[in-house]
Amino acid sequence: MSCLAHSFHDVPVVPGIKPIQVATKGGPIWPDFAQEKTLRHCRDGRPVDLPPVWPEGAVEKTIPAALWGCFIDLRFGHLVAEHLSRLPLAVRQWPDLPVLFAAPEGVTVQTLPRWIWEIFDWIGLDSARVQLVTQPMRVGQLFAVPQQEMMFKTGPSQPYLDLLTSWTSRLNGVSRDVLYVTRAGLVAKGHGGFAGEDYVTDLLNRLGIAVLDPAASSIPEQLNAYAGAQRIVFCEGSAVHGRQLLGHIDQEIHILRRRDGQNLAQAQIAPRVGALRYHDIGKETLPVYWKSGLRRDSADLRLYDLAHLFRCFAALGVDLPRYWSRSAYRAAALADIEAWLALHKPMARLRAQYHQILRAADMLPASWQNAKAGDTPISDHPISDHLGRPDL
């Protein structure tokens, strides 16, 4: 991984297409593309993007010089963790050049989500410099900086981390002992998570623990909250990657795993904090699969292992059992389960598996109480195939 700037002459650049699972397609057609491993989109140093294709008979646009930004992945976690790290160093080295981005088909500057503009503002990229590649173009001289960290086991370069750390003084973080970052509400919308987290979140709030809902918070609000907390507890999800927008702060990060044994963003978060710990708090799992048959564990519904959940918060000085209402928790969990099942419409094989798991856990929702496994219609289009691929 290099911080060195690169430039090429007469570079074709093409619009993006919809991401194909982990791969992206669109952007610069680098010279000797197949052998280029520095500037392509990589994971742990290995290119995972697809070769952009120059369309036959294309009417091209020509510009004299530009800076390559990145592919704009509309999934928050993937944009921050995989693509965005090229920009902070680059936009300072070339402060006057337009910055080119490829985006999924149909996305325009006008339709970019607000949170993307807020990230651009945070990293110092003026909106007037942002140009989405919507037609093939040829750039007289194209400048670029490699990714400064990558998914999986590649943490931040030191210059990149130092730059992010220097920005901490720009924040007005409210000092807090513990901050809980919630995914409450997402299970009921069909996404992966813990059934009944709404109850846990509400109880923590009533106990005076600060709670942040990233889905309802702006990027500045999130960063200020992170900067002021001594200890942050993330329910595993894309919000963890938001901490990558900051540099080193001497604080503790605790991540409540949804996928046992997986250390989300460990190589990226560890250099940014004083201590990083992961906690397995899950028990039974309702697994989700793509139509191809591959697991999609990020969408799984989990049931809490309450003993482990209580132990985790006890170590943070929060006595959950003292205030815990079993009936209120169970009602919240059943509501999540019922909503999640209604959206997923599991096929017969999975329905039988879910039925068995939930009955054994005494978490079978009312709509399934009198039905035998496999009694309801089978959907050919489970939610995992039509919700898209959010990194949640």
Q: Which residues are within 8 A (CB) of 218 and not within 5 positions of it... i.e. 6 or more apart? A: 114, 115, 118
Can you say how many angstroms the Cα of residue 117 is from the centroid of all Cα atoms in its chain?
A: 17
Residue 22, pLDDT score: 63
- What is the pairing mode between strands 229-235 and 249-257? parallel
Residue 381, pLDDT score: 37
Residue 24, pLDDT score: 79
Can you say how many angstroms the Cα of residue 176 is from the centroid of all Cα atoms in its chain?
A: 24
Residue 387, pLDDT score: 33
Q: For residues 74 and 79, give the distance between their C-alpha atoms in angstroms, rounded to a whole number.
A: 7
Residue 287, pLDDT score: 96
Rg from Cα positions in the chain? 23
Residue 23, pLDDT score: 74
DSSP state letter for 289:
B
Residue 291, pLDDT score: 85
Q: CA geometry: angle at 217 spanning 214 and 221, to 5°?
A: 105
pTM comes to 0.92
Which single residue is written with the structure tokens 């996928």? Answer: 259
In order along its 392 residues, the chain shows pLDDT tens digits of: 667 889 999 999 999 987 766 677 899 999 999 999 999 999 999 999 999 999 888 877 899 999 999 999 999 999 999 999 999 999 999 999 999 999 998 999 999 999 999 999 999 999 999 999 999 999 999 999 999 999 999 999 999 999 999 999 999 988 999 999 999 999 999 999 999 999 999 999 999 999 999 999 999 999 999 999 999 999 999 999 999 999 999 999 999 999 999 999 999 999 999 999 999 999 999 999 988 889 999 999 999 999 999 999 999 999 999 999 999 999 999 999 999 999 999 999 999 999 999 999 999 999 998 765 444 433 333 433 333 333 44
Return the SS3 of 63: strand
Residue 4, pLDDT score: 80
Q: For residues 314 and 320, give the distance between their C-alpha atoms in angstroms, rounded to a whole number.
A: 7
Determine which helix (DSSP H) or strand (DSSP E) holds 310, and give its type and residue range: helix 306-314
Residue 372, pLDDT score: 57
CB neighbour class for 308 (10 Å; exposed up to 12, middle 13-18, buried from 19): middle
Instruction: Kindly tell me the number of DSSP H helices and DSSP E strands found in the chain.
Output: 14, 16
Edge-first strand order for the sheet with 210-212 is: 210-212, 176-181, 229-235, 249-257, 273-280
Residue 57, pLDDT score: 84
DSSP E strands in the chain: the ranges are 6-14, 27-28, 42-43, 46-47, 61-71, 99-102, 130-132, 137-144, 176-181, 193-194, 210-212, 229-235, 249-257, 273-280, 282-286, 301-304
